[in-house]
Structures are given as C-alpha cells and as structure tokens.
Amino acid sequence: MIIFFTIFLFLLIARANSYLLSYEILNIDESQMMANAVRFDLNKYNIFDFDGTSSGFLNSLVLNWPNIFGLDVTFLSTRLTAIFILSLIFYLIFLYFKNELGKFLSILVIAPGLIFFSFTNDPDYQHYSSELLSTLFIVFCLFSLKTYTKKPFYNLMGFLPLGLILFSKSQIIPTAISLYLVSGLYFIWKKNFTYLYKMSIFFLLPIIFIISLYFFNIPFRDLIYSKK
C-alpha cells in the first residue's frame, strides 16, 4: 500500500495547481457527471432518473462519496476522485508486473504514464473522465486473471466489475466483451470448464441484475436511449 499512497501523493502534488484549486479547466462531460451526482443526492440515489448519454450512471454515482461525510459534490472532490482512480489504475499495473519483473522494474513500467498524467497541460487528461472507471474495471480484471491460480477469489471478483462496464461507458463495452470471450477461450483450452462456468456467472450477474431493475421500473427503451 505504500506504493499506492506514493503514487497518489505524487499525482496530487503534481496537480495541486489550477487543476484542483480553481475552475480554469472546465469540461462539459465532467460537469454533466457532477450534475448527475448532485441529482442522485437530491433524488435519493434514484438510478432510474438519470441523464447519462454514453456515460453510465456509475460514473456519476461514484462522485457522491462526499455525501457519506455530509459534504457536497464539488469540482475539488470530483478531481480528487479522478486522481484516486488513476492512482488505483497505476497501482494495479504495478502489481501486475511485480512478480515477474520485481518492484524496481515495475515502477519503471508505470513511470512514463505516471509522469505524463502528472505534468501534462492537455485539458483532455486533466479532468474526471468517463473512461477512468471502465479502465479501472478492465485493469482489475486483468490483474485478477494474472493471479487466478494463486487466488481464485480475486479472479472471480475481477469479472464482476467487468460486467459493470455496461453501466459506466458504452464505447468500452466491446473491449469488455472481448476480454470476457478471450478469457473464456483460454479456460476452454485449459479444459477448466468449472472456472469458465463461474467466470460467466460473475460477468453476467451484475448485467442481468441491473437490467432487471430497469426493466421493472422504467420503459426499457429509456435505458437504450440514454446510452446513445
């Protein structure tokens, strides 16, 4: 965990400028997700009353963490969320390579990306992006696949968030499905049909559950239209 907090502090200090402390950098998508987060709070977290376009409700729901402490969703809390998720992504990539390359070389692997996200002046990389959460889900799934022989529980958990990509970013759904299919083919090749069965359950469970909630609460076409 020391590596994670080091990554987080590095990103936080590097971005402790106008990005965090003022509104000089505004992004339409970020503002919409913040508005939806406020809307969730006012509507008692009703996911059926949501204006998400291609960004699913999970991207906005995760921004509501300040409400746990009685605080409001702000630009500062939103961009701190972006730094936290980005830190988790880099940390999982570090863990992915650690066993084969060792700690030092794994740090070198993530260093270019870490430096880029810390010091870039491109506004497209300085806001809370709808791709961050889905990327975290994919990296977590890849990490869990890497450790499935040692820690099967983590591998099963990895396919739960992979299924949730349907409700976080519609453009990344093909990537999630591809990863699921490739993983399935691998376990078929290994003749590990028990694991293939469990993997499929964990991948499909959140999809079926949430779609069922939509189906019984709002017209299903509203869910389809909100993803366009």
Mean pLDDT per 10-residue run, the chain (228 residues)? 90 76 71 88 80 76 92 89 95 91 92 89 80 93 76 70 88 90 88 85 89 70 52
- Report pLDDT for 106: 93
Torsion angle of alpha carbons 71, 76, 81, 86, nearest 10°?
Answer: -170
Beta carbons within 10 angstroms of residue 64's beta carbon: 18
Closest among 142, 149, 156 to 203, alpha carbons compared: 156
- Sequential DSSP letters for the chain: -HHHHHHHHHHHHHTTTHHHHSSSS--HHHHHHHHHHHHHHHTTS-TTS---TTB-HHHHHGGGGGGGGT----HHHHHHHHHHHHHHHHHHHHHHHHHHHHHHHHHHHHHHHHHHHHH---GGGSS--HHHHHHHHHHHHHHHHHTTTT-HHHHHHHHHHHHHGGGTBGGGHHHHHHHHHHHHHHHHHTT-HHHHHHHHHHHHHHHHHHHHHHHHHS-HHHHHHHT-
- Report pLDDT for 22: 58
Task: Round the CA-based radius of gyration of the chain to a whole number and report it.
Answer: 19
- Report pLDDT for 222: 55
Q: Who contacts 222 (Cβ-Cβ below 8 Å, separation ≥6)?
A: 48, 214
- Phi, psi torsion values for 55, nearest 5 degrees: -95, 120
- Report pLDDT for 67: 92
- Read off the pTM: 0.88
Closest among 117, 102, 103 to 8, alpha carbons compared: 117
Whether residue 59 contacts residue 168, with contact meaning beta carbons closer than 8 Å, is answered with yes
What gap in Å lies between CA 117 and CA 41, rounded to an integer?
30
